[in-house]
Amino acid sequence: MTSVSLVLLLLLCSYHSFVARAGNEQSYKVLDLNPSRAVCSEPNATIPSSSDGTSSVTLSHRYGPCSPADPNSGEKRSTDEELLRRDQLRADYIRRKFSGSNGTAAGEDGQSSKVSVPTTLGSSLDTLEYVISVGLGSPALTQRVVIDTGSDVSWVQCEPCPAPSPCHAHAGALFDPAASSTYAAFNCSAAECAQLGDSGEANGCDAKSRCQYIVKYGDGSNTTGTYSSDVLTLSGSDVVRGFQFGCSHAELGAGMDDKTDGLIGLGGDAQSLVSQTAARYGKSFSYCLPATPASSGFLTLGAPASGGGGGASRFATTPMLRSKKVPTYYFAALEDIAVGGKKLGLSPSVFAAGSLVDSGTVITRLPPAAYAALSSAFRAGMTRYARAEPLGILDTCFNFTGLDKVSIPTVALVFAGGAVVDLDAHGIVSGGCLAFAPTRDDKAFGTIGNVQQRTFEVLYDVGGGVFGFRAGAC
Ligand SMILES: *[C@@H]1O[C@H](CO)[C@@H](O)[C@H](O)[C@H]1NC(C)=O
Ligand SMILES: *[C@@H]1O[C@H](CO)[C@@H](O)[C@H](O)[C@H]1NC(C)=O
Ligand SMILES: *[C@@H]1O[C@H](CO)[C@@H](O)[C@H](O)[C@H]1NC(C)=O
Ligand SMILES: *[C@@H]1O[C@H](CO)[C@@H](O)[C@H](O)[C@H]1NC(C)=O
Ligand SMILES: *[C@@H]1O[C@H](CO)[C@@H](O)[C@H](O)[C@H]1NC(C)=O
């Protein structure tokens, strides 16, 4: 053996032992603590082109520079603590919707009929952080609306407003039904009006026999007006004719002071945009929430075709679970968590109540046993950083003062069927804290929040009963 090949052999041996050792160590991700905030770095290329069977629109953070509203329009962003407080209100509220049915979401037998409870938003409306721009009416008027997988009835503020009660502040043009040639109000005998009654959102008739709706939120605020239909323009020539929505003439309550024009409901019940467009888009949609407010993502109606660039084969998939009593919500079965590349080895029974997947909950909630194990393993990989005081519901916090980049253990969510969702660094740590919190008790279902969903294309194939996660989509 020549000395050169001996050296090579030694190098190969040491390389092998290095790899073996690395396999036993934690794997890390680098988190950039100072991403650019001032300008919108819009990765237009990542917005899927609308094609046969799908329509895509740009989605942005409500307060980010990519938001279609003037970022200097004076919108006040809540503090982190206030946002976390509202996030807890939303989580508690969704939980209450299930009490009485005593349903854990997964495996619920669902014998009785649907329960009628108010929808989830209210003062937690502020946790709905992502907006899209759509056109409404003919000619189309641009409306900036928040998207919400946790509610069904869509609504926009309409003229006359206020009449007689005040509407909430809005940045865009007010939708005027009289100015749209395709607008129609539902009369009280229409099936669409009767359907509102099924979910407790009917509000009688006005003097002209027009169907009145009400959406009540968790904090007592509400939106009321006329249930209507008009043309909804998504991108370019993609239009939804006869789109049903609430033409809101009054929004009352503390939760209603944001400056968006309305809301698009993406829940699973009959009134949602997803259900309304089932024939066309197969009751399927996906979105990508950007890593930071300074970039944009997308919302797509319809499932990506299998194969090809953004094709269905590139998604890690897991079954979608639904509750018959509260059909709005979409659940997945989380089974374990991996920290630094190693599974915690949690018993699947820990997650027996299921995990709600929600665009409007910020922080992921885990059963206390799972949270404790995650926090402990994460802290073990963070010993080089000093601990910091808890921030609201977040108790695993670090002092990153003076640092531009930090190295954090990877965290992956492992779902039923083996789907491994290896979170983006911005989906692990937020505001210097591990962005997870425990539920109030072990029997409560958990929630996969929007922080953890960042940069993934999250596919809700409601028709097929499948969730998909595609990494690095925006
Ligand atoms: C992204 O798209 C917007 C409009 O959709 C356009 O104004 C902007 O120039 C595009 N940016 C790039 C980098 O192509
Ligand atoms: C729901 O479950 C709890 C404990 O699991 C029980 O105490 C309560 O009585 C149940 N409520 C109903 C309405 O079945
Ligand atoms: C209400 O709408 C239904 C169905 O579109 C129609 O048959 C009925 O005549 C309408 N009633 C009134 C009072 O306009
Ligand atoms: C709507 O909200 C206002 C303000 O919070 C409240 O006074 C009113 O009672 C609410 N209406 C209903 C029907 O809940
Ligand atoms: C964080 O660390 C910095 C410098 O390392 C120190 O000055 C500061 O007091 C620490 N803050 C807290 C809250 O511990």
Token digits of residue 312? 């269905």
Question: What is the average pLDDT across 420-447?
Answer: 93
Q: Given the residues 148, 152, 258, 269, select the one marked as catalytic.
A: 148
Residue 154 has pLDDT above 60, yes or no: yes
Which bound ligand lies closest to the C-alpha atom of 185?
3
Amino acid at 239: V
pLDDT at 313: 74
pLDDT of 105 > 50? The answer is no
Nearest alpha-carbon partner for 153 in 187, 113, 202, 112: 202
Q: Which is more confident, 120 or 234? A: 234
CA distance 460 to 473: 15
Q: Using pLDDT thresholds of 50, 70 and 90, give the confidence band for residue 96.
A: confident
44 CB within 6 A, ligand 1:
yes
- Tokens for 314, please give them: 């590139």
187 lines ligand 3 (CB under 6 A): yes
Residue nearest to atom 14 of ligand 1 (CA): 44
Q: How far apart are CA 45 and CA 49, in angstroms?
A: 9
Q: Is the CB of 222 under 6 A from ligand 4?
A: yes
Please state which of the ranges 103-112, 169-178, 350-359 shows the lowest mean pLDDT: 103-112
Residue 403 CA: which ligand is closest?
Answer: 5
Q: How far is the CA of 43 from the centre of ligand 1 (A)?
A: 8
Choosing from 87, 126, 358, 461, which is the catalytic residue? 358
How far is Cα 337 from Cα 414, in angstroms, rounded to an integer? Answer: 6
Classified as helix, coil or strand, 283 is: coil
What pLDDT shows up at residue 457? 94
pLDDT at residue number 325: 81
Mean residue pLDDT across the chain: 81
Report pLDDT digits (tens) over 166-184: 666 556 688 999 999 999 9
Task: Please give the number of the atom of ligand 5 that sits closest to the Cα of 389.
Answer: 13
Inform me whether the pLDDT recorded for 348 exceeds 60.
yes
Atom of ligand 1 nearest to the CA of 58: 5
Ligand 3 contacts CB of residue 184 (under 6 A): no
pLDDT tens for each residue of 26-60: 799 999 987 666 677 756 446 777 776 788 898 88
Q: Ligand 5 mean position to 61 CA, how many Å? A: 30
Picking from 463, 442, 452, 411, the residue whose alpha carbon sits closest to that of residue 29 is 411
pLDDT of residue 104 exceeding 70, the answer is no
CA distance 180 to 196: 24
Which domain does 12 fall in, by range?
2-470
SS3 of 323, please?
coil
| Ligand 4 centroid from CA 146, angstroms | 22
- What is the distance between the terminal CA atoms of the chain, rounded to a whole angstrom? 52
148 is catalytic: yes
Residue that is written with structure tokens 């237009």 in the block: 44
Q: Mean pLDDT lowest for which of 11-25, 48-62, 162-176, 380-394?
A: 11-25
* Ligand 1 pocket residue status of 42, Cβ below 6 Å: yes
Nearest C-alpha neighbor of 455 from the set 295, 289, 294:
289
- Average pLDDT on 375-385 reads 97
Residue that is written with structure tokens 């949270």 in the block? 371
Of 39, 44, 296, the one to substitute when testing ligand 1's pocket (max ligand atoms within 8 A of C-beta) is 44
How many Cα atoms are found within 13 Å in the side-chain-facing hemisphere of 238? 18
- What is the whole-number distance in angstroms between the Cα of residue 273 and the centre of ligand 2? 34
The confidence score (pLDDT) of residue 69 equals 63
Cα separation, 29 vs 65, in Å, equals 26
pTM (two decimals): 0.84
Nearest CA to ligand 1 atom 2: 44
- 105-119, 144-158, 211-225, 295-309, range with the lowest pLDDT: 105-119
Instruction: Using pLDDT thresholds of 50, 70 and 90, give the confidence band for residue 97.
Output: confident
Per mean pLDDT, which range of 153-167, 285-299, 353-367, 403-417 is the poorest? 153-167
Instruction: Quote the pLDDT of residue 25.
Output: 63
Q: Is the CB of 344 under 6 A from ligand 4?
A: no
H or E element: which one contains 297? strand 296-301
Task: Give the whole-angstrom CA distance, residue 233 versus residue 237.
Answer: 7
Expressed in angstroms and rounded, the spacing between residue 220 Cα and the centre of ligand 4 is: 6
pLDDT at 269 over 80: yes
Confidence of residue 205 (pLDDT cuts 50, 70, 90): very high
Contacts of 259 (CB under 8 A, 6+ apart): 69, 73, 75, 168, 169, 170, 171
Give me the pLDDT at residue 86, please. 74
Binding site membership of 399 for ligand 5 (Cβ less than 6 Å) = yes
Would you say the CB of residue 209 lies under 6 angstroms from ligand 3?
yes
Active site includes 441? no
For ligand 1, atom 1, name the residue with the nearest CA. 44
pLDDT-derived band of residue 320, with 50, 70 and 90 as boundaries? very high
Count of structural domains, the chain: 1
Tell me how far the alpha carbon of residue 101 lies from the centroid of ligand 4, in angstroms. Answer: 26
- CA-44 nearest atom, ligand 1: 1
- Residue minimizing CA distance to atom 14 of ligand 3: 187
Question: Which is more confident, 219 or 1?
Answer: 219
Tokens linked to 123: 């003062």
378: domain CATH number is 2.40.70.10
Higher-confidence position of 51 and 215: 215
